[in-house]
Amino acid sequence: MVYKANDIKLLAVQESILAYAKTISTAGAQANQLHYIRSDFFQNKLLVIQFIQTGLPFDLFEKIKAITPFSEEDWANYLNLSVKTLQRNKKEVDFVFKPIHSEKIIELAEIAYFGHEIFDTKEKFYSWLFSNNYSLGNQLPSSLLQNSYGKEMVMAELNRIDHGIFV
* 149-158 pLDDT, tens digit each: 999 999 999 9
Mean pLDDT of all residues in 49-59: 92
Residues contacting residue 125 through CB under 8 Å, at least 6 positions apart = 69, 115, 116, 118, 119
Q: Is position 143 within any domain?
A: yes
Give me the mean pLDDT over the 2-31 stretch: 65
Using DSSP, state whether 3 is helix, strand or coil.
coil
Instruction: Report pLDDT digits (tens) over 100-125.
Output: 999 999 999 999 988 988 997 889 99
More confident residue, 44 or 39: 44
Alpha helices by DSSP H, 32-93: 42-43, 45-54, 58-66, 72-78, 83-91
Q: What gap in Å lies between CA 156 and CA 112, rounded to an integer? A: 14
Which residues are paired to 57 by β-bridges? 96
Domain assignment present for residue 84? The answer is: yes
Cβ-based neighbour number of residue 2 at 10 Å: 4
167 located within any domain: no
Q: What is the pLDDT of residue 23?
A: 75
128 pLDDT more than 80: yes
Residue scoring higher pLDDT (31 or 148) = 148
Q: What is d(CA 118, CA 63) in angstroms, rounded to the nearest whole number?
A: 21
Rounded Cα gap, residues 158 and 165, in angstroms = 10
Residue 107 included in any domain: yes
**Measured distance CA(64)–CA(59) in Å, rounded:** 9
pLDDT value of residue 22: 73
**65 lies in a domain?**
yes
> What residues make up the domain containing 109?
5-162
Confidence of residue 25 (pLDDT cuts 50, 70, 90): low
4-13, 65-74, 141-150: least confidently modelled range? 4-13
Count of domains observed in the chain: 1
